[in-house]
Amino acid sequence: MLEFLKNSTFRANDVFFRALTILKKHYISVAGLCFLLFVTNTLSTYLALYLDDIAGNFIKIILLLVFVSLFFGLQLVLIKRAVLLANNIEHAPLTTYLPSVKQFLNFILGLIIYSILLPAIYLICSLLCMPLLYIGVEMDTILWQLNPFMTGIVMMLILIRISFFPFFILEKGFNIFRAFKLSISFTKGNVINLLVLMLFLAIAYIFQLTFEYLEYPILASISGILNTFIIIPAVSIVMAIAYVDMIKEYKGSDNPELFKNIL
């Protein structure tokens, strides 16, 4: 599988500079989609607070469905736009960008599966940490420090390995399980590069949360703007180019075996 990864690890430097070139040329369209994501998220948060006491449960459920569909639908449009640009397709009909109902549901199912994994991984990490009690480690240290840290590391690694599943859903029309298997196959040997990429994406968001916690609203706003208009557009293009490059050089099966590619 992916023999070229042994030598290239998706050529990180080349991918990054190509992404900057594309982003400079098409910044408005890519950043515009990121801005719509930002507005959708902000508006949903505001309405949730505003309507908390004055709206009935039925209205809340309807609005929740609307904003969830809009937010994640925009994410898929952004991915599709990035992939088309990575393929040097600058103009395409509007319908090309819109995900089908099947694609949208598969994407949501992928997010649900990842969310279900969280308590399962937490439980496993709890069991692994229990022997530490016998060597004098306090229960509070395990519950509030070691276990959350281990769970976070494992969930980050899982996220890295399945990071390309939306691309396979949108581009190939595969179901979520086949998309997961291909993403795990594609990311084999690229974990470090993708980890650095995701940490880069998370920096502005971490700064934003830190400044909000420390009650520095101006710095929090600056971090949020940086994240929305610089980091997310850049990473979207980088991931799309990495995906397109790997697709071009991929010589393996379209339905690879899962366990052979986990490690």
Tokens at residue 53, please?
A: 């006491």
Per-residue pLDDT of the chain (263 residues; tens, 9 = 90+): 334 333 444 566 677 788 889 999 999 989 899 889 888 888 887 877 777 666 667 777 887 888 889 999 999 999 999 999 999 898 888 888 999 999 999 999 999 999 999 999 999 999 998 888 888 888 888 888 899 999 989 998 899 899 999 999 999 889 999 999 888 888 877 787 778 777 776 777 778 778 877 888 888 788 878 888 888 888 889 889 888 887 877 666 666 666 566 65
Distance CA 116, CA 120 (A): 7
* Tokens read off for 191: 């974990």
Report pTM: 0.84
Structure tokens at 136: 């004098």
Task: Report residue 35 as tokens.
Answer: 């801005």
Among 212, 263, 228, which residue's Cα sits nearest to residue 78?
228
**Sign of torsion over alpha carbons 200, 202, 208, 209:** negative
Structure tokens at 51: 């309507």
